[in-house]
Structures are given as C-alpha cells and as structure tokens.
Chain A
Amino acid sequence: MVQLIYLTTLLPLLGFLFNGLFGSKIKNEKIIGIIGSSTIGISFLIVVGAFFQTLSMPVDQRQTIVNLFTWIKVGNLDVNVSYQVDQLSLLMGLIVTGVGFIIHVYSIGYMHGDKGFGRFFAYLNLFIFAMMNLVLGSNFLLLFLGWEGVGLCSYLLIGFWYDRKFEKSTTSDAAKKAFIVNRIGDFGFLLGIFLIYLTFGSLNFNDVFARAASLNIPQYVFNFIALFLFIGAMGKSAQIPLYIWLPDAMAGPTPVSALIHAATMVTAGVYMVARCSIIYASAPAIMEFVAIIGALTAIFAASIALVQNDIKKVLAYSTVSQLGYMFLALGVGAFSAALFHVMTHAFFKALLFLGAGSVIHGMHDEQNIQNYGGLKKYMPKTYVTFLIASLAIAGIPPLSGFFSKDEILWSSYADGNIIYWLIGVVTALLTAFYMFRLVSLTFDGKERFGHDKHPHESPAVMTIPLIILAVLAAVGGFIGIPEIFSGEHGNQFDNWLEPIFQPAQAKIAMFGVHSSLEEIVLMVVTLVGVIGSIYAARYIYIKNIKPAEKLSKRFNGVYNLLLNKYYVDEIYDASVVTPIVKGSEIVLWKFADIKIIDGLINGVANLIEKISGSIRKIQTGVAQFYALIMMLGIVAALFWIILSL
C-alpha cells in the first residue's frame, strides 16, 4: 500500500483530465459525480492502507520514500518527483482525502443542476492532486508544486461563477485577489527555498533536516530561512497581514469553502512550518514572531467575526482565527498540538461550512443571517450537525475541539508567556460567542424571511456527509486525550507524530515543570468562560437583542470598525494597490517609457530629419546648377593641384 501511494495523486489527476476533457460533453451528472468522487474515495482507501501498514512497522522505520522519476537535475541540484510517506504526511493525507471524499459526495447534491458541473468536479480533483503532492512531496520543490497547484485551484474555484457579482465587486476579483496575495507569500517561500538550497545544498527534506540538525550554521541564516518560509505560510494560511483574501474567497461555491478554505489548503502553511520544525526550532526569534502573528490573527479575526452578517463571512473569519491558533501553537513549539488542531478543525469547520451550504441551499442562496431564523424545524439534520460543530469549535468537552484547543492553550501557558494564554482564552470566548450568535440567529428565534422562501432539508447525498463529519467532529478528539486523563499511554496523537518533531523538540528549551493541577485549573477556567459566553450569545440573540443594540450604539465607532473589518481592504487599496497601478500607468508607461525612452529615440530621429531638412534645400533640382557646382569643384581642385606643385 505504501508503495502505491503515487496512485493518490495519479487517480485525482486522471479524474481531472476525464472530467475536464469530457465533462462538458457527457452532461450526465451521475457519471461525472461518481468518477470525481470515486477517484478520491479510492485514494482515501490507499492512504488508509498505507497508514495501517506504517502503523505496523517499528517506530524508527516509519518513513518510506517512493521515488518516481527525476524532475529537475542541473549541476548539484537534483530534484525527484518522489513521495515521502511518514507519520506527518499520512496524517495530512488522511485529512485531505477523507474530508475531500466527503465533500466530493456532498457536492454532487449541492452542485446539482449547475451548468459547470463537470468543470467543478474537474477542479476539485485537480485540487486533491495538488494537495496530495503538497503533503506527500519529499522535497521543497514538490511541496512548492502542490503549494502553487492548490493556489491555482483555489483561484479557479473562487471564480467558479465568474459572471456573478460578489459584494461590491465580482467573484473574479475575489479569485484574483486570492491568487495575487498568495503570490506575495510565494515570493517569500521561494526566497526561503533558494536560501535552503544555498545553505544545505539540497532540497530534499531528509538531507536538509539532517544537515540543519548537525551542521554548524550561523543563526541569522536560520532566521532568514524561517522568516521567508513563514511569509509563504502567512499567504497560504491567511495570517496577518496577508489574511485579506480568505474572507473574499467565500465567493466560491460552499463546498469549495469547506474543502479548500477551511479544511485543507489553508492549513498547508501549518503543515509546512511543522515539516520544517527543525529549522524553526533553530530560529527562536522567528518562533516568537510566528507565535505573535498567530495570536494577533486569532483575536483580530475573531473580533471581526462578532458582527458579520453573512453566514459564510462569519465562518471565514472564524477560520482565520483558528488558523491563528494553530500558528500560536507552532510558535510556542507545540507542533503536534497545532496539527491536532488542524485535524479537528478540518472536521468541525468543514462541517460548519457544509451545514451553512445546506442552509444556503435550503434558503435559495440567501446568505444574510439576519434574514434567517427558526430554521431548526425545517432542517433538523442540518441543525443538529451544525450545533455539534459549533459546540466543538467552542471547545465543549468531550467534543474534538475541546482537546485540541485545550492543548494549544496549555502549551502557550506552559511555554511561559501568559499573554499568549490570555489572548488564546479571550479568542476562545469570542469564538463561542460569535458561533452561538450565528446558531441562534439562524436556527432559533423568529422566522425573519419572507414568504417567497420555502426552507427545506437538503437531500440525503448532502446530509449523510454532514452526519459523518458530525461524528468525526464529536469523537475525533479522543485520539489526542491529554496525558493527565489518559494516564500512562500518554497522548496517542503526540506519540504518533513524536519521531517527526523529536529533533526540533530536542533543540527547544523544554517547558518549565508544571503540575497537572495547574492544567486542570486552567481548563476549568476556560470552560466556565466559554459556557458563559455561549449562554450570553443565546440570551441576547434569542430572547433579548437590546443589550447588543445598546452596545453597538454606545460604541458605534468600534462597531463600524469591526463591521468594516478594520478597513484593512481599503487601507491596502489606498496604500499599495492604487499607487502601484497608477504609478505604473502614469509614471512608468506614459512618462518613462513613452516620453523619456521613446521620446529620446524619436527625438534623435526628429533631429536628424530637421538637419537633413535644411540641408536638402541645396538640392534645387536644376541639373545645370549641379553641373556648375561640379565645375567649380573641378576648377578648385585643379588650382589646388597646380599651386601645390
């Protein structure tokens, strides 16, 4: 099975080719949907097989390299297309293909009747192809291939309904923005790759990480590498200041938001930083930076999510915020906690998005939560699953989010910086609040939609994926039960990943010693806060909206600031986008290129023309005049010769 791992990229690629080439001709949604989903389903089974095979191996042999062919070989550079099957890539592979398969199936129902049905599945398959390359690649270049590939798919899928309006602009604006902001991150990533090659003389993970652990390399080099790679992660995983594309990415169909912009692609940055844990462990200053950015993003995005009215926008900012959590975990050295959160987040956030999709589907493309209300009696399955996901993200035990979030909070506390812990807790409270604001406004209370809407439960092809994900979101956390509860076996999840992060952990100064009592106290404190927060949200948004209205009136400025997302888009437009575009047009093109460079050249030509213009007057056209001049010339020449004799 491990040796067959290449099928997990090949099959989606074939699916992409098939649906891309013939999808528009087949017109049979069943065939397209079955082919599109089954390629991912089979891939998932292969990854599962590879997982159990790897599990049966001794711990120190759990890494297999599957080499396919030479990609680029020039001089010392030798990059293969080869896949690395180990604990980390298997974990990511399971998430990608597993959640991916569920979302593919869901899409069969959600996209039913869309004229781009075949195209949609082609893109989704291409996405899985790229994402599997990203997580399986055994070198930085293949990682980058996947990295760019998922960016492309994200671009194509955000702009899937390319003729639709989206907010103030169009979906294609959102798609372009996503691609370009990601490119800015890629710029950093590429620089990081170059520096890695320059420093370690290879791009293969095994070589680079072995040398990073053993060679004596100056601190600043590590800092630069880690920083550049992190810029890449900031773009892909939507961290401050490059997070702006993710909320706009909601212009795409909802399954896309679930798969790409919540469960898998946006966590690529987390995966990459975790993969390079040894490099980050060697650059403590950048680790600190990662933690700060993560913490800031977490609280910043959560605050915006408080007041958004578009159901998908709330979830989008929530995703940004949760990603911030993951980076906070990475920054404090809790790599395994970050990945644990990647996994649980994939379950409950995909579920939330799919649930939102089900609501949007049932409400005929209405996305404003102010126009929902009381939907739980119309769509009970969606309601229950959505509620489970909301409880999970809020961190209510024993749902999955509780364990992963708690591990992050505990790690940030244990790392010794109480500020991180505090930000984490505040974010958790905000998260609980906005999630239950969303749930209450959507499913509870009075019906605020018009009579033209007839909300209905979605078909089974959509609700069954919801139920599967709900089960996962509920029980997924059990594989990572903290040591204090599980006793001698320790945290199973951490144990599985331990060999990957062992070199990095060895470099980082170990956590201070803390008693398990402390851990339990913190846990309870957070839990109480979260429950209070949920209660407040339910009270305000079901029973009595007045306190919220009062608050928003009282702090009108703050409210508007949040509602307008801190005006970040506007600031970027005014400070970066417009100056570059206008500057290029007016200064570079119309002035430098046309006036100066071309003007200089045309000026020379004009000068020559002017000079010749005055000289040509001599050409009178009278042949006899020419003859006279000739004559005089000869005479003059004769005189000169005679005189010089």
Chain B
Amino acid sequence: MNIPIEYYLILSGFMFLVGVAGVLTRRNAIIVFMSIELMLNSANLSLVTFSSYMGNSTGQLFVFFVMTVAAAEAAVGLAIILAMFRNKLTLNIDDINILKW
C-alpha cells in the first residue's frame, strides 16, 4: 500500500505546531525542552519523507546530523536546566529572567 506524501507532511506540520505551542505556552523548562525536541523530530520526519519520495539519501544523511545536534543540545540544555534548578530551585521559566536588563 502506498501512503500519500501529504499524510507525512501534515503529520510533520502538526507535530511542529504542537512543539511551537509547547515552547510558547508551557512554563516548565523541561517541557519546553521536550517541545523543542518535538520540533526537531518533525523536521526529521519531513526530511526522511522527502528522502524516500525523491529516492535520494541526502535527506536521511541530514537526519543523522540533526539527531547528533539534538543529542548534544539535550546534553548541554539539560545541564543548563540542572544548573538553573540548583540556583533557583525552580524550573518555572517565568522566574528565570536574569536575561532581563
């Protein structure tokens, strides 16, 4: 059976929107972080989709890059969140506003 490409893309778009909404609205830093991962994965999904649709492996290659970056980012990001938590004893990002002037 042949699933049309639109399905994949719609799914990817939907996942991306969920990620965006999560980043913009959630207050817990971990969840914001997970939402970012979701956005990355939605991008991965469309990359794989196009790769298989076009019969070109470059897209899949890129996915590996993205995954590597995501892993590194997760490590760094979690470390920052951890450090933040130790300092402020909260993960609510509304309270973490030291970037403010």
Contact = CB atoms under 8 A, between A and B. Distances in A.
Contacts of B20: 631
B24 A621 contact: no
A624 B93 contact: yes
B98 interface: yes
B32 interface: yes
Interface residues of B, number: 13
A216 interface: no
A287 to B, nearest CB: 79
B99 A616 contact: no
Interface in A607-626: 616-617, 619-624
Nearest to B32: A624
Contacts of A617: 101
Interface of B: 20, 23-25, 32, 93-94, 96-101
Contact of B24 (A616, A620, A631): A631
Contact of A623 (B25, B99, B101): B99
A623 B100 contact: no
Interface in A598-645: 616-617, 619-624, 627-628, 631
B38 to A, nearest CB: 14
B60 to A, nearest CB: 25
B25 A619 contact: no
Nearest to A621: B100
B23 A624 contact: yes
Contacts of A620: 97, 100
Nearest to B27: A624
Contacts of B100: 619-622
Contacts of B98: 621
Contacts of B32: 624
Contacts of B97: 620-622
A623 B94 CA distance: 8
Contacts of A616: 101
Interface of A: 616-617, 619-624, 627-628, 631
A161 to B, nearest CB: 65
A622 B100 CA distance: 8
A619 B20 CA distance: 21
8 contacts: A619-B100, A619-B101, A620-B97, A621-B98, A622-B93, A622-B97, A623-B96, A624-B23
Given A624-B32, A624-B93, A619 B24 contact: no
Nearest to A626: B99
Nearest to B26: A624
Contacts of A622: 93-94, 97, 100
B12 to A, nearest CB: 16
Given A619-B99, A619-B100, A620-B100, A627 B24 contact: yes
B42 to A, nearest CB: 14
B26 to A, nearest CB: 8
Given A619-B99, A621-B101, A622-B100, 8 more contacts: A620-B100, A621-B97, A621-B98, A621-B100, A622-B94, A624-B25, A628-B24, A631-B20
Nearest to A616: B101
A335 B93 CA distance: 99
Nearest to B20: A631
Contacts of A621: 97-101
A178 B27 CA distance: 82
**Interface core residue of A616, A617, A619, A621 (most chain B CB under 10 Å):** A621
A624 B101 contact: no
A620 B96 CA distance: 11
B6 to A, nearest CB: 18
A363 to B, nearest CB: 81
A616 B100 CA distance: 9
Nearest to B97: A621
Nearest to B25: A624
A217 B81 CA distance: 92
A627 B99 CA distance: 14
A519 B23 CA distance: 120
**Interface core residue of A623, A628, A631 (most chain B CB under 10 Å):** A623
Contacts of B93: 622-624
Nearest to B98: A621
Contacts of B96: 623
